[in-house]
Structure 1
Amino acid sequence: MATPREQARERTMAEIVRLGREQLATTGPVDLSVRSIARDLGVVSSAIYRYVRTRDELLTLLVVDAYGELADRVDEAVSRRRRPQHTHAQRLCASAHAVRDWALAEPARYGLLFGTPVPGYHAPGEETTPVGTRVPTLMTRLLAEAWADGSVGEVPEVRVPAALGRDLRAVRTQLGVEIPEWLLARGMLWWSSVFGAVSFEVFGQYGAGTFSDPRRLFDHHLDVLLGTVGLPPRR
């Protein structure tokens, strides 16, 4: 059980993250200011340095927070489709729609994760990689489940070069999944395409008013992508 001092620290850290989110939405990541957060907390700047010493530390807090919330939303969406009547395709598409829904609701935080890199900032991998890979790992494991029960149908075979095969085997070991190399490569195409389509929409790359219903376009993209991994489009 946490001590009162530890609980107080947790509350302060949560408040710093909340204020960081607000600042991110109004000023952008480049102009994040620890001093501004200290002012909003009502403390002197020297006091906040016990919790966050630099802008980069604040950025890392916000990156980890955003990755974690996104992954939680995807986990929840997939969990709701774990009943026998739900198909592998439905679970994969639920994961994709959860990414899109969160990104549209949190464009500034999505932009921090997948937008233009912040000049001079280098995310510490030991803190950001585990949480940052949760979503693609889940998507890959969903595809592995489909492969394991024979749901993946025939798809046009594309040869995997030897050097790429070595890389894919290393990734497969890291993820702990049992799928052939070609399907792992298709799974990576799935999740990179999902995030690419979401980024195009969030960052306005299609142009304002080009599509009356962007969600319909996204669903079409997903049905095409399902075919690339050997799953039938949803009915």
Structure 2
Amino acid sequence: MTGATRTARDRARAELAHEIKSAARRHLAAQGAQQLSLRAVARELGMASSALYRYFPSRDDLLTALIVDAYNAVGERVEHAVEAAAPAEHPRVAWRGLCQAVRGWAREHPHEYALIYGSPVPGYQAPEQTLAPFARVPFALLRILRDSGRDLAGPSGASALPGPLAAQLQTVVDANGLDVPPPALARALFAWTGVFGIVGFELFGQLAGSVDPADRFFEYAVERHADLLGLD
């Protein structure tokens, strides 16, 4: 088989895999991840199920592909926003950009957001290949902290981490080779889960009747978390 033939075949295979994932996303939007069916996707595309299995041998393989794509999509959006803000010079602006990028992507892709940040799919165990894509957003936040030039060790005394939490976070730092101390990681996790919590509440209607639309509340929360992170 010539290189040109192999390239054309690889391109055709990639295009069909893209069509399969696009159809699967439509099924996610209509029925949710729990009801995702390879047979239903194959029917929509006019394919035999056996042909689709050559691309994705199981429902879990297809879910993994969708999850990896979603993590990479939001991660790329966030990284571009942080890079554009020059985090070393404007860490607070970079943090705002990160938060706005997450919220903007979530509102454009609510079903994919639910897939990666919502309730786990029963019976599905995410494989190791999802870890690096997942880490892109939190690593972007850690980059902002590292580049901010502030003392990441944090205060001592009453505001210091309790011993068990400090040990727990030190294990995370050591296991992942993070170049931030446990107090900075604790603040990053606090801010990260806070922002994603607001986005999730907004996306799934939990703020209706209170701060809906949530624009001003989201902006307020972003600034208060920036204060917590010590971003100038």
TM > 0.5: yes
Distance 1:79 1:141 in 2: 10
Structure 1: distance between partners of 2:74 and 2:95: 15
Query: Structure 1: which 4+ aligned runs deviate by more than 6 Å?
Result: 151-156
Note closer, same or farther for the CA distance 1:49–1:83 as it changes in structure 2 (3 Å cut): closer
Q: In 2 relative to 1, CA 163–70 (structure 1 residues): closer, same or farther, beyond 3 Å? A: same
Question: Is 2:24–2:41's contact at 8 Å kept on the other side of the alignment?
Answer: yes
Report whether the alignment pairs 1:81 with 2:85: yes
Residue of structure 2 equivalent to 1:192: 193
Q: Distance in 2 between matches of 1:89 and 1:210?
A: 27
The answer to whether the 8 Å contact 1:155/1:230 transfers is no
> Does 2:220 match 1:216?
no
> Tell me, which stretches of 5 or more residues in structure 1 are unaligned?
none
- 1:122 corresponds to which residue? 125
Structure 2 unaligned blocks of 5 or more? none
- The aligned length equals 227
- Aligned pairs (5 A) from 1:99-114: 99-114=102-117
Identity %: 37
In structure 2, the partner of 1:35 is 39
Cα distance change, pair 225–153 in 1 and its aligned pair in 2 (3 A)? farther
CA contact (8 A) 2:106 2:199 kept: yes
Q: Is the 8 A contact 2:87 2:147 kept in 1?
A: no
Find the counterpart in structure 2 of residue 167 from structure 1. 168
How does 1:140-151 map onto structure 2 within 5 Å? Answer: 140-146=142-148, 149-150=149-150
CA distance in 2 between counterparts of 1:52 and 1:141 reads 35
Q: Does 1:96 align with 2:93?
A: no
CA RMSD in angstroms comes to 2.3
Is this contact kept in 2: 1:140–1:188, CA < 8 A?
no
Query: TM-score, normalized by length of structure 1?
Result: 0.87
Deviation by residue 1:140-183 (Cα, 9 ceiling, x = unmatched) = 1211111xx23879768522233322332233345544333212
Q: Which has the higher helix share?
A: 2
Q: Which residue of 2 aligns with 1:180?
A: 181
Give 1:83 shift.
7.9
Question: Among residues 35, 50, 68, which one is paired with 1:64 in the alignment?
Answer: 68
Deviates more, 1:167-176 or 1:100-109: 167-176
